[in-house]
Chains A and B, each alone.
Chain A
Amino acid sequence: MSFNDQKEFLREIVPFSELTETELNEAITAIEIGFYPQGIELITAGQPTDHLYLIIKGEVKAWSPEGELIRVYHAREGLDADAIIEGVSTARYEVTEDLICYELTATAFMKLFEGSEAFRDFYLLDVVERINYLKKRATDSDLSAFMVARVSDSYLHPPCILPPETPLVEGLRRSVAAKSSSMVIQRGGEYGIITDSDIKQWLASGTIDLEAPVASLARFPMIAVEADDFLFNVYLLLIQRNIKRVGVLREGELIGMLEQIDVLSYFANHSHLVTVKIEKAKTLDALREASLDYLNIVRKLYAQGVKARYIAKLVSEINRKVFVRLFEMILPEALQESCALIVMGSEGRGEQIIRTDQDNGLIIRDGIDIDPYRPYLDQLSETLVSFGYPACEGNIMVSNPYWSQSQSDYRQKIDRWIDTPEMESFMEFSIFFDSQCVAGDTSLLDALKTHLFARINTGNDVYMAHFAKLTTLFETPVGFFSTFLHRDREIDLKKAGIFPIVQGIRSLSLREEIHELSTVERIKKLSEAAVFDPDQAKELVEAFEVLFYLRLKQQLEALRSDATPTNTVTTDHLSKIQRDLLKDALQIVEQFKKFITRDFGLENLG
């Protein structure tokens, strides 16, 4: 009865959702309901607090001792665990809208904290881990119906099993012969592992001893899963632990090794059929039909919990093949050899999953008269529209003469963009900077990119700064401590998060002369170039992934109900977990904006 209602409420709140039935029942007996009118000070800074407050309804604001707004709390959020754990609150909490809340005594909270690992972890994990944790849950709960593939459904590599006293050199010989990327050492009933990357590291550090027995070098125990575990969970495990392979056990016996690459290809397999269909299509109609299949793949992969950026990668591969086929089928051969078909913007970065616009253009070798070919270009654009790539607002497509020009016209265009630092030129420049040649003569585009970097790197700091400043063009609706600042029901994911990341990373890539196109790849390169540290890079990739994932979710739902996909999510429609993910992601975006502002010295910019 009522107690079940209380339990249901608690079960909705992470990390109470992780408690066992017994723990939850115990928690219930230590909970009261409190009511506090607006204006009451709930927790005083510098004082201990004897309750954890879980908001049923109302609003609480946390203020730093300096009077700065730190965070706003709403329904289904708890405060302030840190104050209980630390024994003293660092902030002042004030009720800013009549508050009804559950109150869990500090003693009961600490008991849960000490008794439940999941509970403890939640409060102690850092942001990145927390995102992964929440995402794991989000995918787990969304997908239960789809997680049917088991480990044994995937290809398993025969393990290279060695006795413990085998000298390393002999083990290496055997693993090479077995074409295995790892050595498994069996010691009693236990397995340990040495991987190729271990060998590489020992070589690099000069600590390798070829005669040492493998058991003394191996890591015990090897991370292993059961043959009938869900493949999807293994996928998550690989990502969480950042490992490339796991052992597969059946009744305690090692039956094979499961490699990350095989797990990924299992999930991606469905795409194979589509690519074959695209390559075999003889008519435009057949091609169109094959290309529209992409949506089914996206749905499947999304349902299987594949990361949005991998889906994007796959989709852009498919799109690329479609472009190549269209190029061959529509454009006369004479033109094909003398031009480059480029895709730009999100399509160029490989970050367009749902077809929302077509940003493409044609670079024509100097000296070729394009006018006789215009009708073919029009046909190309029209065909793309019929394939489900909507004509974009900016009319950035090959049928527009502005975007199908000779190489030297493009060169002038680049110069003009850089010499006139205003909004329109920034936008066009950005789109072009992300371009990729999908068919024709790639060198036409390469030369232009070289020219572009050369122009930027000859004393164009002011241009760079103005370009980078676009990162902060839109407000990110999040407070210092990760809660939606105003109670924005609707959040434009693109403006609030995706664009700032893309633009900030684009600016850094332009400055550091990074040729990669996808935002994630660019982040990796920037991290390698020590522009920011690996943790920051990891956080940013995670945030980008979350935003991307939520947008895809929204888009797929819109398509299902025949609506036009947008970039806007309504926070009320998100689950608590997804809202938490979004908050954390926007928080990271906000910090990234500050980083860009400092890094490009934007404070001093007019």
Chain B
Amino acid sequence: MIRSLRRSLNRRRLRDEHYAHLFEPREDDEVVVLDTETTGLNPKKDTILSIGAVIIRDGRVLMSEAFERFIRPTKAISETSIKIHHLRACDLADAEAPDPVIRDLLDFISNRPIVGYYIGFDHAILSRYTRRLIGCALPNPTVELSSMYYRRYRKESSYAFVDLKFDTIMDALSLPQLGKHDALNDAIMSALIYLKLQTMPEYKGAYG
């Protein structure tokens, strides 16, 4: 109820009708798995440095249509972030301005649901860009991998703590690390997590 209300509110804010299709419901079960690298961890202030995204169609990660773009930073990159993604300002000196990248990303995602690990963060930061660009927040529904994972793993550790660290999840699902952590690799690995979790039953509780 509230969700649909918020959704129609968001729709009314859309300024560019070219993107009206983002609000259409999706007919097939395709999703986009997405990851961003940023200057820091504050979605209100920090900016995007790179975006990696892949489409999942018929149980396949479409590498041949993968999305990978880099954005020139307008503010300093925090030291903690550099340690994570190894992107320094000088690495991105020749990268693009944000607007064309975000527009292409919206075309790429279309009306597919967005899947990711702590996708709330990526969604929040991307919405800051889309609000400026097309007037509204990113309208696509999101799927949170860590909760998908939690719903399948809490049984084994009923009241205990379920470790939701990315690498822990990868290990627990015995998925391979494909190269280093960058936006596209993380998107691909997240896609594998998604595919694998989909084949596993959810835990409905002891009486469920």
Contacts and interface: CB of A to CB of B under 8 A. Distances in A.
Interface in A16-30: 28-30
Interface stretch (A1-9, A146-154, A164-172): A1-9
A2 B191 CA distance: 14
Contacts of A56: 176, 178
B61 interface: yes
Interface in A69-108: 98, 100, 102-103
B64 A33 contact: no
A29 B64 contact: yes
B178 A32 contact: no
For A31, A33, A36, the residue with the greatest tally of chain B CB atoms inside 10 Å of its CB is: A33
B94 to A, nearest CB: 14
B179 A35 contact: no
Contacts of A4: 179
Contacts of A29: 64
A37 interface: yes
Contact of B63 (A1, A32, A35, A100): A32
A32 B61 contact: yes
Contact of A1 (B184, B195, B199): B184
Contact of B188 (A30, A33, A103): A33
A36 B178 CA distance: 17
B111 interface: no
Contact of B196 (A9, A33, A98): A98
B68 A100 contact: no
B108 to A, nearest CB: 16
A33 B59 contact: no
B66 interface: yes
B179 A5 contact: yes
Interface in B160-208: 174-176, 178-180, 182, 184-185, 188, 191-192, 195-196, 199
Contact of A32 (B64, B176, B185, B196): B64
Given A32-B60, A34-B61, A100-B192, A2 B176 contact: no
A568 B30 CA distance: 49
Chain B binding surface SS class: mixed
B184 A103 contact: no
Contacts of B59: 34-36
Nearest to A108: B64
A33 B192 contact: yes
B73 interface: no
Contacts of A2: 52, 66, 68, 178-179, 182, 184-185, 188
Contacts of A8: 179
A174 interface: no
A466 B184 CA distance: 62
Contact of A100 (B62, B175, B185, B199): B175
B191 A33 contact: yes
A57 interface: yes
Interface string A295-308: 00000000000000
Given A33-B191, A33-B192, A100-B192, A5 B63 contact: no
A103 B58 CA distance: 13
A227 to B, nearest CB: 43
Interface string A368-396: 00000000000000000000000000000
Contacts of B52: 2
A435 B181 CA distance: 60
Interface string A576-602: 000000000000000000000000000
B176 A57 contact: yes
Contacts of A98: 174, 196
Interface string B38-68: 0000000000000010000001111110101
Contacts of A57: 174-176
B192 A6 contact: no
A8 B180 CA distance: 12
Contacts of A6: 63
A207 B178 CA distance: 64
B62 A32 contact: yes
Contacts of A30: 64
A5 B180 contact: yes
B64 A31 contact: yes
Contact of B68 (A1, A9, A32, A35): A1
Given A1-B68, A2-B68, A5-B178, A34 B60 contact: yes
A4 B60 CA distance: 20
A470 B47 CA distance: 71
B97 to A, nearest CB: 19
Contacts of B191: 33
Given A30-B64, A34-B61, A35-B196, A100 B184 contact: no
A262 to B, nearest CB: 48
Given A1-B68, A2-B179, A56-B176, A33 B63 contact: yes
Given A1-B68, A57-B176, A103-B60, A35 B182 contact: no
Contacts of B68: 1-3
A36 B196 CA distance: 8
Nearest to A34: B60
A1 B176 CA distance: 17
Interface string A31-58: 1111111000000000000000000110
A3 B67 CA distance: 11
Interface in B60-81: 60-64, 66, 68
8 contacts: A1-B68, A1-B184, A2-B179, A29-B64, A33-B61, A33-B63, A34-B59, A37-B196
Interface of A: 1-6, 8-9, 28-37, 56-57, 98, 100, 102-103
Given A100-B175, A100-B192, 9 more contacts: A1-B68, A1-B184, A2-B179, A3-B68, A9-B178, A28-B64, A32-B63, A32-B64, A56-B178
The 10 closest A-B pairs by CB, nearest first: A5-B179, A2-B184, A33-B61, A35-B195, A37-B199, A57-B176, A32-B60, A2-B185, A34-B60, A32-B63
Interface of B: 52, 59-64, 66, 68, 174-176, 178-180, 182, 184-185, 188, 191-192, 195-196, 199
